[in-house]
Amino acid sequence: MNWHELLQQQINDGYKVAERLVHFLNENDLSWKPSETNNWMTTGQLLFHLGQSCGMPIKGFTTGQWEIPAHSDMNDKKAEKTPPPAEKLQTVTTLDEALTLLATNKKIALDSIALCSEEDLASKEVSAPWDPTPVLLGKRLLQMIDHFNQHKAQLFYYLKLQGKPVNTMHLYGK
């Protein structure tokens, strides 16, 4: 398997599961969060972040065009290294909006990967705005897919905590 096949398969599998998990929600679930303490995101905020957590950074690594979220300025060296307060994070207002964000972000990820050569994915080193350490481009893109998958798992546990009828096969099954 080459880099393109690996990255495309991981993206397609991850987004398929995330979209399936969104369908377990109702519109009134968007304001739910596990606790009022400890800076938890609401389900709507998590869905918004999930819809930006993979494709946008992959585009940044592959094209150099970084779209920094409104709540963060990664170019400001004085910026805090901690997440912003949850109440400052953006949210989706409908499940359709969440699904649209996911579909758009998936397309951005796949289109951006298509711009790369196998050689660049395997040998070009890039740094991130949040980490100046040079890392292989292919590995950086896998890290962004992993970031997406971490939030996909977070959504799964939000569903479990809300009493939705999900099990491990909903998170890993195809």
Residue 34 to residue 40: CA distance in whole angstroms:
7
Model's pTM, two decimal places?
0.89
Strands (E), the chain: 125-128, 131-136
From 118, 136, 116, 117, select the one nearest 126 (Cα to Cα): 136
More confident residue, 82 or 130: 130
**Per-residue pLDDT, 81:** 61
Side chain identity, residue 113: I
pLDDT of residue 150: 97
Rounded CA-CA distance 62/138 in Å is 10
Q: At what angle do helices 137-161 and 3-22 cross, to 10 degrees?
A: 20
For the chain, the domains span 3-17+42-65+89-172
Interval 122-143 mean pLDDT: 95
Dist CA 129 CA 73 (whole Å): 9
Residue 172: per-residue pLDDT: 87
Contact between 92 and 44 (Cβ < 8 Å)? yes
CA gap 136, 151 in Å, rounded: 23
Q: What does the pLDDT read at residue 71?
A: 40
Mean pLDDT calculated for residue range 109-124? 97
**Chain segment 37-76, per-residue pLDDT in tens:** 888 999 999 999 999 999 999 999 999 988 865 444 555 5
Residue 36, pLDDT above cutoff 90 = no
Rg over alpha carbons for the chain, rounded to the nearest Å, is 16
Other beta carbons within 10 angstroms of residue 107's beta carbon come to: 13
* 85 pLDDT tier (thresholds 50, 70, 90): confident
Q: Span 3-17+42-65+89-172: which CATH code?
A: 1.20.120
